[in-house]
């Protein structure tokens, strides 16, 4: 059976994959499109279609997640507005760069290698921090639940303290009682916008660590503001790729249908599961994504089709494993709570 | 400089963005209503498993 020109099984695969990506997105506040775009590339879609459709998917997911975070008061609109300016400029530069590379026949290779470097680098960083926090008995970044609370100085990373000590006017006060140089905000926004336009990602997996580690923004505000910003940058990116026919609605619609449900479950799980317990899996998933894209590139270069299949399986398995870990941990937390409050299990 | 296409391309791209926006809002409201209906019973079911 065919729907929108796709086999029903393919639609089901998109919905299921979108669901797992949504769980990760809802739980970690990032980690949506960096799995989707490589997966589409691995499935054989043209690079610009994979990037454009990935961006439209991010746009839709960000709308849903922002509506949720807005209700929790975790969006700093002033910071978000400034991020939009920097990101918009970065997206356009990145998009022009991608089409230039496409004309040269290099888009697939350059985007693939960039993905491997970024996913691998951020994956190593997150995994190393998760292991270190585990050893230190640290509860991780998930402590800052009140977006208006002053940040504990001990919770600000050293690198952020160092950067915040540079006083390059104009300095702006943002939520959490910290002051940040306007140029730092615009610089981070432009750099992540460049990646968004080039890779078709929301940029959360770069922007989130950048906002926390480089600027020192509290995690809930970083997540909410990042999502608010992605609504605009993702909308613009989708429009620009749509102009060139780079967005395929038959891919985006089922992915979004699955991810919307997954994101709801993932964001509910944040109140049940300690993020630091799962963070190491997230880091490993990023590393798995890097290996998958690298295998695909190797498969392209050598003509070994089996590497493409392994690559596709690895990326699906990574999303399934970490998404499953989030759901399993949430179910366990509910059951632990039931046991501690003396609820009798059913026969 | 943002390179814009023809009028028809712009309308098509804007429609596409509008469709994704509409789908997102419908999904947000739809799944919200669904979770209001089945969320609590589902959590209770898990608690008593």
Mark yes or no for CB contact B16/A338 under 8 Å: no
- In a mutational test of the B interface, the residue from A96, A242, A245, A267 whose CB has the highest number of chain B CBs within 10 Å is A242
Overall average pLDDT of the A69-85 stretch: 81
Residue A67 to residue A223: CA distance in whole angstroms: 12
Give the model's pLDDT for residue A185: 84
Would you give the distance in Å from CA A74 to the centre of its chain? 17
**Who contacts A196 (Cβ-Cβ below 8 Å, separation ≥6)?**
A55, A87, A90, A91, A94, A202, A203, A233, A234, A237
DSSP code, position A149: S
Chain B hits for A257, Cβ within 8 Å: 23, 27
**Who contacts A67 (Cβ-Cβ below 8 Å, separation ≥6)?**
B28
CA distance B25 to chain A (A): 7
Give the model's pLDDT for residue A256: 92
Residue-wise pLDDT for A134-186, tens only, equals 666 544 444 444 444 555 556 566 766 776 677 777 877 777 677 778 888 88
Give the model's pLDDT for residue A254: 93
Overall average pLDDT of the B30-47 stretch: 85
Give the model's pLDDT for residue A147: 44
Task: Indicate if the pLDDT at residue A199 is higher than 50.
Answer: yes
Place of tokens 């059913």: A346
Give the model's pLDDT for residue B26: 93
Residue-wise pLDDT for A19-48, tens only, equals 988 888 777 766 566 678 878 877 778 888
pLDDT band at B5 (very low <50, low <70, confident <90, very high): low
Task: Indicate if the pLDDT at residue A308 is higher than 80.
Answer: no
Task: Indicate if the pLDDT at residue A298 is higher than 70.
Answer: yes
Give the model's pLDDT for residue B27: 92
Give the model's pLDDT for residue A80: 85
CA distance B33 to chain A (A): 12
Backbone angles phi, psi at A151, to 5 degrees: -80, 140
- Tell me, yes or no, if B20 comes closer than 8 A to chain A by beta carbon: yes
Give the model's pLDDT for residue A153: 58
Residue A80 to residue A67: CA distance in whole angstroms: 14
Cis peptide before A170 (omega within 30 of 0): yes
DSSP states along A261-299: HHHHHHHHHTTTS-HHHHHHHHHHHHHHHHHHHHHHHHH
Question: What is the ipTM score, two decimals?
Answer: 0.84
- Tell me, yes or no, if B33 comes closer than 8 A to chain A by beta carbon: no
DSSP states along A164-224: HHS--SSEEEETTTEEEEHHHHHHHHHHHHHHHHHH-S--HHHHHHIIIIII---HHHHHH
Percent with pLDDT over 70 in chain A? 83
Give the model's pLDDT for residue A112: 79
Residue A92 to residue B33: CA distance in whole angstroms: 38
- Tell me, yes or no, if A252 comes closer than 8 A to chain B by beta carbon: yes
Chain A hits for B16, Cβ within 8 Å: 56, 238-239, 242, 247, 249
Closest-CA residue of chain B to A242: B13
- Tell me, yes or no, if A4 comes closer than 8 A to chain B by beta carbon: no
Give yes or no for a contact between A140 and A133, defined as CB atoms under 8 angstroms apart. Answer: yes
Cα angle: A8, vertex A50, A97; to 5 degrees: 170
Task: Indicate if the pLDDT at residue A105 is higher than 60.
Answer: yes
How many CB pairs (< 8 A) connect A and B? Answer: 88
- Tell me, yes or no, if A59 comes closer than 8 A to chain B by beta carbon: yes
Highest-scoring range by mean pLDDT, A160-174, A263-277, A282-296: A282-296
Helices (H) and strands (E) in chain A — how many of each? 12, 4
């Amino acid at each position: 059976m065919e729907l929108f020109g796709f086999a029903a099984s393919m639609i089901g695969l998109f919905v299921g994959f979108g669901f797992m990506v949504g769980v990760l997105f809802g739980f970690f506040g990032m980690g949506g499109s960096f799995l989707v775009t490589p997966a589409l590339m691995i499935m054989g879609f043209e690079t610009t279609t994979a990037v454009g459709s990935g961006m439209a998917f991010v746009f839709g997911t960000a709308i849903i997640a922002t509506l949720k975070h807005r209700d929790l008061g975790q969006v700093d609109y002033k910071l978000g507005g400034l991020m939009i300016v920097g990101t918009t400029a970065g997206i356009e530069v990145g998009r022009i760069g991608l089409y230039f590379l496409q004309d040269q026949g290099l888009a697939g290779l350059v985007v693939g290698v960039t993905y491997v470097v970024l996913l691998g680098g951020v994956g190593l960083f997150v995994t190393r921090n998760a292991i270190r926090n585990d050893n230190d008995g640290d509860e991780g970044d998930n402590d800052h639940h009140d977006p208006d609370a002053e940040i504990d100085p001990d919770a600000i990373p050293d690198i952020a303290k160092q950067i915040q000590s540079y006083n390059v006017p104009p300095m702006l006060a943002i939520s959490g009682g910290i002051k940040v140089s306007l140029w730092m905000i615009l610089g981070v926004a432009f750099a992540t916008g460049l990646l968004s336009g080039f890779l078709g990602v929301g940029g959360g997996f770069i922007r989130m660590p950048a906002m926390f580690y480089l600027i020192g923004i509290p995690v809930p505000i970083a997540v909410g503001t990042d999502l608010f910003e992605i609504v605009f940058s993702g909308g613009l990116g989708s429009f620009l790729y749509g102009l060139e026919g780079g967005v395929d609605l038959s891919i985006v619609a089922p992915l979004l249908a699955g991810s919307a449900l997954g994101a709801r479950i993932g964001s509910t799980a944040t109140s049940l599961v300690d993020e630091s317990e799962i963070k190491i899996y997230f880091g490993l998933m990023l590393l798995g994504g890097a290996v998958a894209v690298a295998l695909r590139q190797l498969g392209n270069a050598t003509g070994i089709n089996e590497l493409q299949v392994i690559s596709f399986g690895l990326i699906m398995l990574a999303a399934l494993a970490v998404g499953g870990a989030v759901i399993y941990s949430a179910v366990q937390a509910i059951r632990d709570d039931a046991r501690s409050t003396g609820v009798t299990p059913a026969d | 400089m943002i390179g814009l296409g023809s009028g028809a391309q712009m309308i098509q791209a804007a429609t596409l963005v509008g469709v994704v926006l509409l789908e997102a809002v419908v999904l947000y409201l739809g799944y919200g209503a669904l979770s209001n209906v089945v969320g609590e019973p589902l959590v209770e079911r898990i608690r008593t498993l």
